C-alpha cells in the first residue's frame, strides 16, 4: 500500500500561501491496467482503454481543509474498487478549466464530428489547465531499478541549467556560511520525493533534458549499468495446478531485442520457452520455471555488456500526476 496523504498535504499547505481564488489541485481515481485481476484469466475491460474510461471519480481540491474532509472517502473508494488515487502537483484554476472546456466544445462544433461525452471534455480541460506558472514542476519517474542511483540523478539534474546556476548562487550566498554543502542544501530545499508502488517520483523544477540525457547515458556506460530484465510477473497456479512460470513483458526498447532475449532464455532454460505476441507494442516470453530467473538475469546482464545495451534514461513527465493513495 502507498499512502502519501500526509506528505502531499504538507506540500499543499506550503504552496497555498500564494494561491488565488479558483486555484485547486486535480485528483483522479484511476484503474491501472497492471492492476487488472484477470478473473479466470479473462481481462476486465474496465481496466483498459483511455484514461477517462478507467477513471471512476475526479476531485478538485481547493484547500487543505477540503483535502482532509475527502481523505477517508478517497481511501474507501480506492480500497473498494481496486483503483489508485493520483494528484497533479501543478495547480489548476477554475477559470482556465472553463476556458479549456469552451475551447473543446467549439472545436467539436466546428469540426462537424460527433460530440463526445461532456464528462470527457471536462476531464480533458482539467488535465490541460496547468496554472502553476513559475511554480511549475516536473516529475522524474524512477522505477525500482533506478532508485539506487537517486543521489546521482539529483546531482546530474543540479548540473543542468537552470539548477546549475542556482546552486552556484547558493555557493556564493552568505547562507552558505551556515550550510557548508550548498548542493545538499539546494537539493533538500528544491526536490520533493514521492513514494510510488515500485519506486519514487522526484518532483523538481524544469531543467535542460537534452543535457541531462547525455549525462545519464555517459553515467550508465561508465558504471556499466545495463538494461534490466524486462518487466516480469511470476505465477504459481494455472488451471488449478501448481505451475511455476516467469512471464516477461517486452515493450519499448526490448522489442528490438526479442530474438536475442529469447535466445538468452532458451540457453538457460532449455525445457520450455514460449513466445506470444499480443500486439505490435508488446511481446510476452514465458519461461517454464522460476528457478531459472537468477541465471537469466546474469546471462542478460552479460549479453548487454557485450553489446553495449545500457539502462535508458527514465521517464521525465512535464505535467503528469503523482501517487496519492494505492491500496
Q: What is the pLDDT of residues 65-115, one digit of tens each?
A: 999 999 999 999 999 998 999 999 999 999 999 998 888 888 877 877 677
Distance CA 288, CA 275 (A): 11
Per-residue buried b or exposed e for 139-155, using 16+ beta carbons within 10 Å of the residue's own CB: bbbbeeebeebbeebbb
How many of the other CB atoms lie within 10 Å of CB of 217?
A: 14
Q: Which residue has the higher pLDDT, 235 or 154?
A: 154
Which segment, 21-35, 125-139, 189-203, 279-293, is predicted with the most confidence on average? 189-203
What's the pTM value of the predicted model, to 2 decimals? Answer: 0.86
Q: How confident is the model at residue 40 (pLDDT cuts 50, 70, 90)?
A: low
Beta bridge mates, 87: 27, 322
Q: What is the pLDDT of residue 155?
A: 97
Residue 114: predicted pLDDT: 72
Q: Answer for the pair 88, 25: CB distance below 8 angstroms, yes or no.
A: yes
pLDDT band at 18 (very low <50, low <70, confident <90, very high): confident
Which pLDDT does position 179 carry in this prediction?
A: 56
Judge whether residue 168 has pLDDT over 80.
Answer: yes
Per cent of the chain over pLDDT 90 is 51
Domain layout of the chain by residue ranges: 2-134, 138-224, 231-307
Inform me whether the pLDDT recorded for 118 exceeds 80. no
Which DSSP symbol is given to 289? -
Q: Are 204 and 89 contacting, i.e. CB atoms less than 8 angstroms apart? A: no
3.30.160, 3.30.70, 3.40.50, 3.30.1360: which CATH number matches 231-307? 3.30.1360
Integer angstrom CA distances of residue 120 from 26, 99, 109, 116, 214:
15, 15, 15, 7, 38
CA distance between the termini of the chain: 5
Residue 55: predicted pLDDT: 78
Q: Mean pLDDT across the stretch 303-312?
A: 94
- Cβ pair 137, 90 in contact under 8 A: yes
Question: Rounded mean pLDDT of 147-170?
Answer: 95
Mean pLDDT of 8-36: 83
All 3 cell numbers of residue 237? 497456479
Spatial contact of 321 and 55, defined as CB atoms under 8 Å apart: no
| 222 — pLDDT class (breaks 50, 70, 90) | very high
Q: Which of 37-41, 111-115, 176-180 has the highest mean pLDDT?
A: 111-115
Specify the higher pLDDT residue, 177 or 116: 116
Return the half-sphere exposure (C-beta side, CA atoms, 13 A cut-off) of residue 144: 6
Percent of the chain with pLDDT over 70: 87
Tell me the mean pLDDT in the region 290-313: 92
For residues 258-265, average pLDDT: 89
Please give the order of strands across the beta sheet that includes 322-326.
2-3, 322-326, 84-93, 23-30, 55-61
Whole-number pLDDT of residue 15: 77
Amino acid at each position: 500500500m502507498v499512502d502519501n496523504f500526509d506528505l502531499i498535504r504538507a506540500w499543499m499547505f506550503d504552496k497555498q500561501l500564494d494561491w488565488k481564488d479558483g486555484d485547486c489541485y486535480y485528483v483522479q481515481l484511476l484503474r491501472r491496467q497492471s492492476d487488472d485481476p484477470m478473473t479466470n484469466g479473462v481481462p476486465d475491460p474496465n481496466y483498459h482503454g483511455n484514461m477517462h474510461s478507467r477513471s471512476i471519480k475526479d476531485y478538485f481540491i481547493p484547500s487543505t481543509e477540503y483535502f482532509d474532509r475527502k481523505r477517508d472517502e478517497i481511501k474507501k473508494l480506492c480500497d473498494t474498487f481496486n483503483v489508485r488515487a493520483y494528484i497533479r502537483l501543478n495547480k489548476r484554476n477554475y477559470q482556465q478549466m472553463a476556458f479549456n472546456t469552451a475551447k473543446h466544445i467549439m472545436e467539436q462544433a466546428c469540426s462537424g464530428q460527433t460530440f463526445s461525452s461532456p464528462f470527457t471534455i471536462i476531464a480533458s480541460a482539467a488535465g490541460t489547465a496547468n496554472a502553476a506558472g513559475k511554480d511549475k514542476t516536473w516529475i522524474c519517474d524512477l522505477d525500482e531499478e533506478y532508485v539506487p542511483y537517486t543521489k546521482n540523478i539529483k546531482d546530474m539534474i543540479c548540473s543542468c541549467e537552470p539548477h546549475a546556476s542556482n546552486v552556484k548562487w547558493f555557493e556564493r550566498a552568505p547562507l552558505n556560511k551556515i550550510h557548508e554543502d550548498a548542493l545538499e542544501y539546494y537539493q533538500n530545499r528544491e526536490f520533493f520525493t514521492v513514494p510510488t508502488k515500485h519506486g519514487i517520483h522526484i518532483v523538481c523544477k524544469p531543467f535542460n533534458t537534452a543535457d541531462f540525457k547525455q549525462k545519464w547515458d555517459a553515467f550508465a556506460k561508465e558504471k556499466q549499468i545495463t538494461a534490466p530484465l524486462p518487466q516480469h510477473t511470476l505465477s504459481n497456479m494455472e488451471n488449478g495446478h501448481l505451475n511455476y512460470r516467469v512471464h516477461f513483458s517486452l515493450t519499448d526498447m526490448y522489442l528490438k531485442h526479442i530474438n536475442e532475449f529469447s535466445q538468452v532464455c532458451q540457453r538457460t532454460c532449455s525445457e520450455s520457452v514460449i513466445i506470444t505476441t499480443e500486439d505490435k507494442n508488446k511481446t510476452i516470453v514465458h519461461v517454464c520455471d522460476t528457478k531459472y530467473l537468477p541465471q537469466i538475469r546474469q546471462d542478460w546482464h552479460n549479453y548487454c555488456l557485450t553489446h553495449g545495451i545500457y539502462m535508458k534514461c527514465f521517464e521525465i513527465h512535464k505535467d503528469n500526476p503523482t501517487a496519492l493513495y494505492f491500496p
